[in-house]
Amino acid sequence: MPHRPSPVRYRTIFLSDIHLGTRGCKAERLLDFLARHDSSTIYLVGDVVDGWKLRHGWYFPPSHSEVIQVLLTRAKNGTRVVYVPGNHDEFVRPYVGHMFGSVEVLDRIIHETADGRRLLVLHGDQFDVVLRWARWASLLGSVLYNALLAANGIVNRVRRLFGGSGWSLSDWAKRTIKGAVNFIGDYEKSLVEEAARAGADGIVCGHIHHAAIDDRLGIAYVNTGDWMESCTAVVEHFDGRMELIRWTEEHVAAASGERAGRSAESAPALSDMTA
């Protein structure tokens, strides 16, 4: 068995949209990421457990329970863990302001980076117009998204048989279908405006499963992505620089020593764009 190196340590790790309790959740990949990355603070930016899905049938394999156990153990051992619930884990929202063991539950929070910037952290579903005004449409969208994930899994298995790499059908749709592109743009604009109202320098959110770090709207916008397809986390280095890490199957293999020299893909550093 290859020797596992010590975890890479960061000041902060931001995770969202894990969707424990669904078959699309990449819990094993998240466990691998957590085993190789550590931090002083972890923000869980909503939709950690998918209460919508669990209401219609129980699915919670050991790997999903292990994710919760790893996070609780880190909180118990001194890592600050802040849980900001989303719409799929809205059952946690009545407990905002309380503690689950050593885990803080908050509706939103201002995070101050090492270089002094103030970032508003919230899930973001409050700014989803479809969710606010047509909940039934959002529920239907959730069902269709899970069906798309299942179809995408079949496509990727066929691609790998012929030597191809993994490909995300839903990510392609988000980037190319006009309505989806417009929705993402409107969502980002609404979140940036909320950060400005809060007097913050930027926003960290999740919800739409579209990982990004940019400041094209004048205020830093950071979306942590998800752990169903993109398998992304945002980390803050000890100098305040923010980085988007995409933990793909290839990166898991590389980190395990099966493909030496490969490392996690990263987005442009936030500090480089906002300096």
- Tens of pLDDT, residue by residue over 121-153, are 999 998 875 444 444 444 444 555 565 556 555
CATH number at residue 94: 3.60.21.10
Q: How many of the other CB atoms lie within 10 Å of CB of 255? A: 22
* Distance, CA of 173 to CA of 178 (rounded, Å): 9
What mean pLDDT is reported for the chain? 82
Per-residue pLDDT for 32 more than 70? yes
Report the relative pairing of strands 220-223 and 202-205 from DSSP bridges. parallel
Which of 76-90, 179-193, 237-251 reaches the highest mean pLDDT? 76-90
Q: How would you class 3 by CB atoms within 10 Å of its CB: exposed for 0-12, middle for 13-18, buried for 19 or more?
A: exposed
Q: What percent of the chain has pLDDT over 70?
A: 70
The percent of residues above 90 in pLDDT, for the chain, comes to 60
Q: How many CB atoms lie within 10 A of CB 142?
A: 17
Measured over the CA atoms of residue 20, residue 26, residue 28 and residue 34, the dihedral's sign is: negative
Confirm whether 94 is domain-assigned: yes
Whether residue 140 lies inside any domain: the answer is yes
Find the domain containing 241 and state its range: 8-274
pLDDT at 154: 55
Secondary structure string (H, E, C) spanning 7-25? CEEEEEEEECCCCECCCCC
Lowest mean pLDDT among 84-93, 103-112, 121-130, 179-188: 179-188
| pLDDT of 107 above 80 | yes
In which band, very low, low, confident or very high, does the pLDDT at 217 lie, cut at 50, 70 and 90? Answer: confident
**In-domain check, residue 74:** yes
Establish if 67 belongs to a structural domain.
Answer: yes
Whether residue 1 is contained in a domain is answered as no
More confident residue, 196 or 177: 196
Q: Full-prediction pTM beyond 0.85?
A: no
Q: Tokens for 210, please give them.
A: 């579209």
pLDDT score of 260: 43
210: left (phi over 0), alpha (psi -120 to 50) or beta: beta
Average of per-residue pLDDT across 250-261: 60
Whether residue 3 is contained in a domain is answered as: no
Within 10 angstroms of residue 246's Cβ, the number of other Cβ atoms is 16
Confidence band for 23, pLDDT divided at 50, 70 and 90: very high
Residue 184 has a pLDDT of: 78
CA distance 231 to 89: 19
Number of domains present in the structure of the chain: 1
Decide if 2 is inside a domain: no
Residue 83 belongs to a domain? yes
